[in-house]
Structure 1
Amino acid sequence: MLSSFGKQIKSVKYTGLASLLLFVLSITGCSIKQPRQVAIASAHPLATQAGFEILQQGGNVYDAAVAVSAALAVVEPSGSGLGGGGFWLLHRESDDLDIMIDGREKAPLAAHKDMFLNAQGEPNKQLSLNGMLAAGIPGMPAGMVHLSEKYGNLPLATSLQPAIRYAEQGFPIGTRHQKLLSFRKNILEQHSETADIFLANGQLPAKNSSLKQADLAQTLKQLAEKGQAGFYQGSVAHKLVNAVQQEGGLWTLEDLLKYQIVERQPVSGSYQGIKITSASLPSSGGIVLIEALNILENTDLEAVDDITRKHLIVEAMRRAYHDRALYLGDTDFIDVPVERLINKHYAQGLSSTIRTDKTLPKEYLTGHTQEEQGGRNTTHFSIIDNEGNRVAATLSINFPFGAGLVASGTGVLLNNEMDDFASAKNSANGYGLVGGDANAIAPEKRMLSSMTPTFVQDNERIAVLGTPGGSRIISMVLLATLDFAAGNSPESWVKVKRFHHQYIPNHILYEKQGLSTEEIISLQSLGHHLKQTYNYGNMQAVQLNKSTNTLSAASDHRGEGLAKIQQINE
């Protein structure tokens, strides 16, 4: 045993060594590496856990994004899946790279602009929403493969393991899953393969009952083993095409073989010194978001009363959504005046048409557009590490459970994203959004989307956010961005009371308790029409505070997701 004097000598010795080490580090410019931390917010706890499982195996945030994407395809089949598509917005801190992986679905080669019209030339909404004509060529599997191979550290097979396990072993379903099953039950029960997986003897399964998807697990294994060829070629591709064609769809093996993701530059802008980076076409999200913020930058939202503030935000939404319907579509097929639409001088002109004492009648806005929509049961997740590497991903199969049909032997639930095209000029889609020639159906064209994965950044904070919600996605991200600008945290952004205007239909849509009785009366006095709807959205948000090197995260209380921050052992 050491004597007291001996212990003092040993303590002085260790203290001296520590001081010497710190001195050497200071003069050599070296630093002690901070522990690696990551924040993940997703729409399902098992998906969030899948991301952390892969991070603990040495994965980076992009590997985690693959794991979360695949897990959501299994545990939240109402919102996304291998039969759908999406957009992954990435930032890599080492070279300051911002890029968007476009995994949006495409129209089949045999698609044509009149495919959803009846003999009178009117859109048949049932054809574009339910059944195999409604299904675009999926981009989700190709997007995950590309994300893993180009940006990840781990093999794709490793990142897909949590999803494969969930599909094989099953997981307990929740209230949200039940509710969305109920909404689409009459469609799902028409197809035996779909009903056998998601219903219990033709009825809604009990809460917490286990959902197993053996065929989907096998399809994921094919993807893990063979990469893109495991889905777009071989036995899985043949099963997909056979299922679609048997139900009257247009897919061919050539459609699948030709599908490729596209890397696109995100759109960027600013609002009161805050940098905005968001989804580019074929998503309308970033353009409409930045245009609305540019319009609002010409007003002082902090200097006006709350009613006037909401009125100004609504008027900005109306003008930005009007331009969405008039101009936006797939830039691989049409020319879109993107730079003009996100130009601040253009926004000044639009802002000059806004009055604080009344709303402008919709007929006074230039151009002729009518009602359109967009998939409401999408999903979103956000990831960031304490170095600033980050992913915002919004994924979709459009309506809950997509087209309502699982391709036999694959477990793959197919999308109904063809409804996001404008079936006829000025016709509305399933979400009330209108479109024109810019978003008309054409072979291999990507349909216009409202998905808005977004980065918001000031001198101290970096935010990663997004949400499902169809045409209302953009307005939700707009309100959250304004809340960020007010200095609030992710927990506040996801709780913001929501209201929305998309130009047509010509009313303010607001969630239950989203507006007070006084606010409703006051907005009506300004000429607005209002309509209450259910509580919508499921925002997932994370943030890095650069000055304190701390992370924060929040998952929307309207959903059943999980936001978590965790130290990664390396």
Structure 2
Amino acid sequence: MLSLGMHSRRSANSRLAHALLVLLLCVVPALQAQPAPRATVASPHPLASEAGLSILLAGGNAFDAAVAVAAALAVVEPYGSGLGGGGFFLLRQGGSSPSYLFIDARERAPLKARPDLYLKGGQAQRRLSLDGPLAAAIPGIPAGLAELSSRHGRLSLEQSLAPAIRLAREGFPVDRVYQSRAQMRLAALRDDAESARLFLDAGEVPAQGFVLRQPELAASLEQLASAGHAGFYSGELATRLVEGVNRAGGIWSMEDLASYQVVERIPLQVSLADDRQLITAPPPSAGGVAIAQSLLMLQQLPWREAERAQRAHLVAEVLRRAYHDRRLIGDPDYVDTPLPRLLAPDYLEGLTASISSRKATPSTSLGTPAALHEGEDTTHFSILDGDGNAVAATLSINLPFGAAFTVPGTGVLLNDEMDDFAVDPAGSNAYDLEASQANLVGPGRRPLSSMTPTFIDSADQLASFGTPGGSRIPSMVLLAILEYLDEQPVQAWVAAGRYHHQFHPDRIQHEPDAFDEDAMATLRERGHTLDNVGRRYGNQQVILWHKSSGQVDAASDPRGIGQSLQAPAAKP
């Protein structure tokens, strides 16, 4: 009986082991069967998308590809970004428990900067903060590229920068977007001999197809490629930059460059309905806060069921309140931004309760206007690799072609981001927006920004959003997110008509085709003033990863010339 009992126990154990083995054999293929996403790049210029995809196909990850795309855009979109500018990189590090990181490569004010830098005789001299070397803050893009490559990439910086170096040396054909931006800044470009030589053709906007070569920029990129961060912020190139800026009337120092570092920040992360997570830009971006507040307010309102005009009314009202709070936000290294209060449920419930479903709220009834002034010619791209790593990056030099000042012998076109500060502490800017004490000019400070690279992550999907567009960036990203939440295809996210409210001036700005006549009449009945801006704006680049199938959808804004590219599908 004993031997029989032991045999029975062995048999039972054997059956249990067999069952566990069968279960394991069923589960493991199921886990393995979940396909990896196809590596995808969506950028505002086909040559930049090609550069990013080539790096992915060479074994690089999303972070290497981000270096390649950002550097290529510095060459082919000098009106939107460049080595002389700055930006924000939102990273998703893939895996079973993804993590997120925000790299703040925003420009910093020179150490000699003071709140009255642009005041002469007590009056703000706006031209000084817009054109020329005094308008330029210390660039952050070179440091951002070096950081991405050394801390997060698989390939060397030399490999990731190679496509941009080739584009700068061999040249690229001028397109219609380049022409329109150059025409906008033609006078400023002509005023600087080096910029005129590099970006114009005999003092005029180049013809379409004109091959624009930048050998000096290629050499500066090679310095960055060989020496990393030090290749730009110290040594021969740094000396040339400082001497060139100061010779023309700027206030840079070698210490400004030597002390520049990117800041790794924790992204702003907010729980939304349906177990979705909003991961977006923290201060010194004001955009992430505005989007978070707007979405949390809209969750309390029937926006999804509303027809076009009523939805626009509700969106305008939440934006009005979110932009009102912008005045409280500044560089978090210098200003205590009250984020917990701005995102507190009871505070947002109070804001939502103040919204009438039938009547616009006059902005004057909400108090002090927010400070707001940014150039619109920024750039954005989105990247996803086969491991679930992702980058959403928004980069800028502020106005088209930045300060329109290129440091001789370097090919580095400088930003005019100093104008993003409150350059007139006692007055208002060119858009009649009053100054923010949280965003005053100060030594080493980063100016407030609306740049808002954004993810929405969930168990089923990852969506990536972002666009250029200055103060309209948050509203554009919000409208794209609403299309996503409405389960519309990615092409609809980037193509939908756009509208915007920024608290002051108290009006809904909109594209010509955003509303039909009935919708406009309804909005006017609600008490809104409509302002047709007379053109389409923005240049969104979006990606949607369906995690269960591995399918990846991407779209580039039809308003631009961008292109979304994918790696070839894996062979079965």
TM-score by length of 2: 0.92
- Please name the residue that 1:4 is paired with: none
Q: Secondary structure at the match of 1:79?
A: coil
- Please name the residue that 1:563 is paired with: 564
| 1:166 CA drift (Å) | 0.1
| Closer/same/farther in 2, CA of residues 478 and 207 from structure 1, 3 Å limit | same
- Asked whether the 8 Å contact 1:56–1:569 carries over to 2, the reply is no
Q: Secondary structure at the match of 1:224?
A: helix
- Please name the residue that 1:461 is paired with: 461
In the alignment, does 2:38 pair up with 1:37? yes
Number of positions where the alignment pairs a residue of Structure 1 with one of Structure 2: 546
- Asked whether the 8 Å contact 2:267–2:280 carries over to 1, the reply is yes
* CA distance, structure 2, for counterparts of residue 283 and residue 270 of structure 1: 19
Match of 1:412, as an amino acid?
V
Q: After superposition, give the CA deviation of every residue in 1:374-433 in whole Å (9 maximum; x if it has no partner).
A: 120000000113442110000000000000011000000000000000113364446665
In the alignment, does 2:173 pair up with 1:172? yes
Match of 1:285, as an amino acid?
G
| 1:34 CA drift (Å) | 4.5
- Asked whether the 8 Å contact 1:372–1:426 carries over to 2, the reply is no
* CA distance, structure 1, for counterparts of residue 570 and residue 155 of structure 2: 16
- Asked whether the 8 Å contact 1:109–1:444 carries over to 2, the reply is yes
| 1:343 CA drift (Å) | 2.1
In the alignment, does 2:301 pair up with 1:299? yes
- Please name the residue that 1:8 is paired with: none
Q: Secondary structure at the match of 2:39?
A: strand
| Closer/same/farther in 2, CA of residues 43 and 300 from structure 1, 3 Å limit | same
1:173-192 matches, within 5 Å, as: 173-192=174-193
Percentage of pairs with the same residue: 45
Q: After superposition, give the CA deviation of every residue in 1:147-187 in whole Å (9 maximum; x if it has no partner).
A: 00000000101000000000000011100000000000000
Q: Secondary structure at the match of 2:289?
A: helix
* CA distance, structure 2, for counterparts of residue 343 and residue 449 of structure 1: 22
| Closer/same/farther in 2, CA of residues 371 and 323 from structure 1, 3 Å limit | closer
- Please name the residue that 2:317 is paired with: 315
- Please name the residue that 1:521 is paired with: 521
Q: After superposition, give the CA deviation of every residue in 1:343-396 in whole Å (9 maximum; x if it has no partner).
A: 232111001111122111112103x22663112000000011344211000000
1:544-559 matches, within 5 Å, as: 544-559=545-560
Structure 2 segments unaligned to the other structure (5+ residues): 1-21
| Closer/same/farther in 2, CA of residues 310 and 149 from structure 1, 3 Å limit | same
Residue 103 of structure 1, aligned match among 105, 113, 121: 105
| Closer/same/farther in 2, CA of residues 434 and 46 from structure 1, 3 Å limit | farther
1:482-521 matches, within 5 Å, as: 482-521=482-521
| 1:524 CA drift (Å) | 1.5
| 1:470 CA drift (Å) | 0.2
Structure 1 segments unaligned to the other structure (5+ residues): 1-22
- Please name the residue that 1:337 is paired with: 338
- Please name the residue that 1:93 is paired with: 94
1:340-355 matches, within 5 Å, as: 340-355=341-356
| Most deviating of 384-393 and 231-240 | 384-393
- Asked whether the 8 Å contact 1:128–1:419 carries over to 2, the reply is yes
* CA distance, structure 2, for counterparts of residue 481 and residue 33 of structure 1: 26
In the alignment, does 2:382 pair up with 1:378? no
| Most deviating of 481-490 and 217-226 | 481-490
Match of 1:409, as an amino acid?
G
- Please name the residue that 1:388 is paired with: 388
* CA distance, structure 1, for counterparts of residue 474 and residue 435 of structure 2: 16
* CA distance, structure 2, for counterparts of residue 109 and residue 175 of structure 1: 39
* CA distance, structure 2, for counterparts of residue 203 and residue 528 of structure 1: 42
- Please name the residue that 1:65 is paired with: 66
| Most deviating of 451-460 and 25-34 | 25-34
* CA distance, structure 2, for counterparts of residue 39 and residue 166 of structure 1: 21
Q: Secondary structure at the match of 1:37?
A: coil
- Please name the residue that 2:406 is paired with: 406
Match of 1:450, as an amino acid?
S
| Most deviating of 470-479 and 93-102 | 93-102
Q: Secondary structure at the match of 1:281?
A: coil
Match of 1:281, as an amino acid?
P
| Closer/same/farther in 2, CA of residues 27 and 271 from structure 1, 3 Å limit | closer
- Asked whether the 8 Å contact 2:456–2:462 carries over to 1, the reply is yes
Q: Secondary structure at the match of 1:67?
A: helix
| 1:292 CA drift (Å) | 1.1
| Closer/same/farther in 2, CA of residues 359 and 24 from structure 1, 3 Å limit | closer
| Most deviating of 100-109 and 451-460 | 451-460
- Please name the residue that 2:154 is paired with: 153
| 1:238 CA drift (Å) | 1.1
Match of 2:382, as an amino acid?
S
| 1:568 CA drift (Å) | 7.5
Q: Secondary structure at the match of 2:120?
A: coil
* CA distance, structure 1, for counterparts of residue 25 and residue 297 of structure 2: 49
Residue 116 of structure 1, aligned match among 104, 115, 118: 118
| Most deviating of 510-519 and 548-557 | 510-519
Q: Secondary structure at the match of 2:204?
A: coil
- Please name the residue that 1:279 is paired with: 281
- Asked whether the 8 Å contact 1:421–1:429 carries over to 2, the reply is no
Moved over 4 A (4+): 32-36, 426-434
Q: After superposition, give the CA deviation of every residue in 1:307-342 in whole Å (9 maximum; x if it has no partner).
A: 2211111010010001012x0000100111011112
* CA distance, structure 2, for counterparts of residue 113 and residue 537 of structure 1: 31
Match of 1:359, as an amino acid?
A
Q: After superposition, give the CA deviation of every residue in 1:190-239 in whole Å (9 maximum; x if it has no partner).
A: 11111011111111111011010000000000000011111111111111
In the alignment, does 2:474 pair up with 1:452? no
- Please name the residue that 1:425 is paired with: 425
| 1:123 CA drift (Å) | 2.1
- Please name the residue that 2:57 is paired with: 56
- Please name the residue that 2:10 is paired with: none
Q: After superposition, give the CA deviation of every residue in 1:79-118 in whole Å (9 maximum; x if it has no partner).
A: 0000000000001113521000000000000000011123
* CA distance, structure 2, for counterparts of residue 457 and residue 204 of structure 1: 43
In the alignment, does 2:128 pair up with 1:127? yes
* CA distance, structure 2, for counterparts of residue 36 and residue 353 of structure 1: 44
- Please name the residue that 1:248 is paired with: 249
- Asked whether the 8 Å contact 2:381–2:394 carries over to 1, the reply is yes
| Most deviating of 433-442 and 77-86 | 433-442
* CA distance, structure 1, for counterparts of residue 559 and residue 569 of structure 2: 29
| Closer/same/farther in 2, CA of residues 308 and 549 from structure 1, 3 Å limit | same
Q: After superposition, give the CA deviation of every residue in 1:481-509 in whole Å (9 maximum; x if it has no partner).
A: 11111011211100111000101111111
- Asked whether the 8 Å contact 2:35–2:550 carries over to 1, the reply is no
* CA distance, structure 2, for counterparts of residue 354 and residue 122 of structure 1: 39
- Asked whether the 8 Å contact 1:86–1:104 carries over to 2, the reply is yes
- Asked whether the 8 Å contact 1:42–1:555 carries over to 2, the reply is yes
* CA distance, structure 1, for counterparts of residue 160 and residue 40 of structure 2: 18
- Asked whether the 8 Å contact 2:304–2:486 carries over to 1, the reply is no
Q: Secondary structure at the match of 1:473?
A: helix
* CA distance, structure 2, for counterparts of residue 388 and residue 370 of structure 1: 38
- Please name the residue that 2:13 is paired with: none
- Please name the residue that 2:14 is paired with: none
- Asked whether the 8 Å contact 2:326–2:371 carries over to 1, the reply is no
